[in-house]
Amino acid sequence: MRKHILLFAILVAGIIGIPGCASDNAELKRDAGEIAGVMCRSIEAMRNLKSTDPADSALVMKLQSEHDAVEAEMTALYADFRKKWGEKISDKQFGDEFRKYLNEAMLDCKSLSKEDRENFERGVE
C-alpha cells in the first residue's frame, strides 16, 4: 500500500512539475526572441547610420533618432526582463539556457555580419 501511495505521489509531482518547467522554457524562449528582435533592429539601425553620407544631415538625424528609439526600447525590455526573472538571472544554468535561445533567435536576423552569424551559430551548438 505504501508503494502505491509513493508511486502516486511521484506521478502527480511529475505531472505538475514537468509542464511547469516547459512553460518556463517556452516563456524564456519567447523573451529571448523579443530581445533578439530588438537587438537585430539595433544592428540594422546602426548599419544604416554608418552607411549614410554624413553630409546628408537630415537623413543622419532621422536615422540617429530611429537608433535612439531602438536603444530606448532595448533598455526598457532588459529592465522588464530583469524584473520578471529576478534572481534566476544570476543562475548559470538559466543564463546558459537564455543565451542558447538568444543565439537561436539571432540567427533569423538578416542584418548580421558573417562573423556575428558565425558567433551566434557557435552559441547554438
Amino acid 78: pLDDT: 93
Ordered by start, the domain boundaries in the chain are 25-124
Range of lowest pLDDT (9-23, 43-57, 92-106): 9-23
Q: How confident is the model at residue 23 (pLDDT cuts 50, 70, 90)?
A: low
Rounded to an integer, the average pLDDT of 14-34 is: 69
Question: C-alpha angle 43/89/96, rounded to 5°?
Answer: 70
Beta-carbon neighbour count of residue 64 at 10 Å? 13
Whether the pLDDT of residue 4 is over 70: the answer is no
- Looking at residue 85, what is its pLDDT? 94
Q: Are 45 and 111 in contact (CB under 8 A)?
A: no
Please check the confidence at residue 19 and state whether its pLDDT lies above 90: no
